[in-house]
Structure 1
Amino acid sequence: MPAILARKLGMTQVFAEDGHVERVTVLEAGPCPVTAIRTFDRDGYEAVQLAFGATKEKHLTRAELGHLKKADAPPLRHVREFRDEAGELMIGETVTVEAFEVGQTVKIAGTSKGKGFQGTIKRHNFASGPKSHGSHNVRAPGSIGASATPSRVFKGIRGPGQMGNKRVTQKGLTIVDIRPDDNLLLVRGSVPGPRNGVVEVRTDG
């Protein structure tokens, strides 16, 4: 079950051999050196830790630099752990796009675009109120109270608030093309997050 860190470059389209158009997201995936291996005996769980995103030494703390040097890795900004993905990997090895195959199904996790404080119509697809005959309830959410019993508003009710800027996992995405020379992964469909956002790519299933 391969996994890798990637940077979302944007969306484009490519033509398949039979002429039909594939809408794809282009990901710059890896190379990701293995910086740590978590074992059940020592850590209580099994995982592999990958690093990604070249940066300058001055942008990292001494602790982060020391951790990367143990694995003979260059200064890298992002470090993530992938549960149950260790397999035969060892510290110091590098994961590249060649760990994946064309036609493979993957799931991609990232931080969605933040849209700020939004109302119920945009955030939860509520319907708007009447817009004529003196109505003052055009985009208001309406009554949220119950009655004398229970005399309170239940927790978890859908209302206005922060929209986006949270972890989202998109499942069932298919790899359309792999370009190892450029470290590119072309995935059918859209991927969470803005351009240049870092995402986690895992096999789905």
Structure 2
Amino acid sequence: MSIGMIGKKIGMTQIFNTKGQSIPVTILQIGPCTITKITQTPNTNQNKVQIGYEYIQPSKITKAEIGHFKAKKLPCFKYLKEYKTNTINNIKIGKILSVREIEIGNHITVSGNSIGKGFSGYQKRHHFSRGPMSHGSKNHRQPGSIGAGTTPGRVFPGKRMAGQMGNTKVSINNLEVIDINQNNNTLIIKGSVPGKNGNLIQIYKK
């Protein structure tokens, strides 16, 4: 069964292997997550599993959400996430998923929002080259031409220009699990993970 869970990024550090080599790693706190909904699509192999993460008081969520949890006889959760899976064997509503579902050496996909860097110019955002820096030049950091004139008479969507940089969903595949601490529900992943410390992230293992 494919496994999807929600957690938070703790931070980055480094560990040393038996050869004395430094390995950059990221520490993630994953789950525990609870299966809150299973949707089966007839005549297809695609099923949807919804999981909940981080308990919350009923007074802080909507009545519709309270009714959703009450119908399943589950506690209230702050975050809900749905993912697709081909098989739903050995799972049921109310089952708790934790880092025990993952083993050292597994490769997982981690998704999260990258760090937002505000409104950035086209040089920083798209790595464009600057204009001449001589005294007579008036095109040091200006974008220059952004399109043709009368025809087509507009700027095409997707033109690389200044704008919001970062704060987008980023997924990194095949990150290796270096170590697991089941008591603290933490994973040590080789490499970097999108977002800043404390950000919500989703992991997925096939």
Shared fold (TM-score, shorter chain, > 0.5): yes
How far apart are 1:43 and its partner, in Å? 11
In 2, Cα distance between equivalents of 1:16 and 1:128: 44
1:71/1:33 Cα in 2 relative to 1: closer, same or farther (>3 Å)? Answer: farther
> What pairs with 1:35-184 in structure 2 (closer than 5 Å)?
35-41=36-42, 45-84=46-85, 87-88=88-89, 89-184=91-186
User: Which 5+ residue runs of structure 2 have no aligned equivalent?
Assistant: none
Say whether the 8 Å CA contact 1:4–1:202 is kept in structure 2: yes
- 2:146 is aligned with what amino acid? I
How far apart are 1:203 and its partner, in Å? 2.0
In 2, Cα distance between equivalents of 1:152 and 1:36: 47
Say whether the 8 Å CA contact 1:9–1:196 is kept in structure 2: yes
- 2:102 is aligned with what amino acid? F
- 2:148 is aligned with what amino acid? A
1:196/1:49 Cα in 2 relative to 1: closer, same or farther (>3 Å)? Answer: same
Name whichever of 30-39 and 142-151 sits farther off: 142-151
1:70/1:23 Cα in 2 relative to 1: closer, same or farther (>3 Å)? Answer: farther
Figure out how many residues of one structure are paired with residues of the other and give that number: 204
Residue matched to 1:21? 22
How far apart are 1:132 and its partner, in Å? 2.1
CA-atom RMSD in angstroms = 2.2
Cα distance per residue 1:41-70 (max 9 Å; x no partner): 399951111111233332212222232234
The normalised TM-score by structure 2 is: 0.89
Say whether the 8 Å CA contact 1:5–1:29 is kept in structure 2: yes
Say whether the 8 Å CA contact 1:38–1:45 is kept in structure 2: no
Say whether the 8 Å CA contact 1:15–1:21 is kept in structure 2: yes
Residue matched to 1:186? 188
1:165/1:43 Cα in 2 relative to 1: closer, same or farther (>3 Å)? Answer: farther
Q: Percent identity?
A: 38
Runs of 4+ with deviation above 4 angstroms = 42-45
How far apart are 1:40 and its partner, in Å? 0.2
Secondary structure (helix, strand or coil) at the match of 1:98 reads helix
1:61/1:120 Cα in 2 relative to 1: closer, same or farther (>3 Å)? Answer: same
